[in-house]
Amino acid sequence: MNKNIESRNDKREQHGLWEKYWSNGQLEYKGNYVNNQQHGYWEHYFTDGRLEYKGNYINGVEHGYWEHYFTDGEVYYKGYYDMGKEVDYEVLIDTPPKEMFPIY
């Protein structure tokens, strides 16, 4: 069953709310498009449903506050963007959890 939500305008461009799901049924990402460009608040998730990162876009580029998370849910990065350019950031921990880099 496909739960994806894909909105398009009359030009068939991505426009409006989009939600995409992993094959296991967990949400992969959600956010809005305006005329084929990411615009507004977005969230992206790991395959197990935990939040991977979140932030805002304006006309397809990062703008404003962003956070990134390890697979255990701990925040490891906070950053601020001005129209796609990173202007300030903080890396909160230096060593990622072991599950970030599994040994095969």
pLDDT along the chain (104 residues), means of 10: 86 94 95 97 96 97 95 91 94 63 46
Token pair belonging to 21: 């799901």
Domain chopping of the chain, boundaries: 5-95
Torsion angle of C-alpha atoms 91, 74, 94, 65, degrees rounded to 10: -10
pLDDT at residue number 103: 45
pLDDT at residue number 93: 73
3-state secondary structure of 60: coil
Phi, psi of 8 (to 5 degrees): -135, 155
CA distance 21 to 7: 15
pLDDT at residue number 101: 47
Q: Which residues contact 52 (CB under 8 A, 6 or more apart)?
A: 44, 45, 46, 68, 69
pLDDT at residue number 23: 94
Which fold does the domain 5-95 belong to in CATH?
2.20.110
pLDDT at residue number 92: 80
pLDDT digits (tens, 9 = 90+) for 69-96: 998 898 989 999 999 999 998 888 765 5
3-state secondary structure of 17: strand
pLDDT at residue number 104: 43
3-state secondary structure of 25: coil
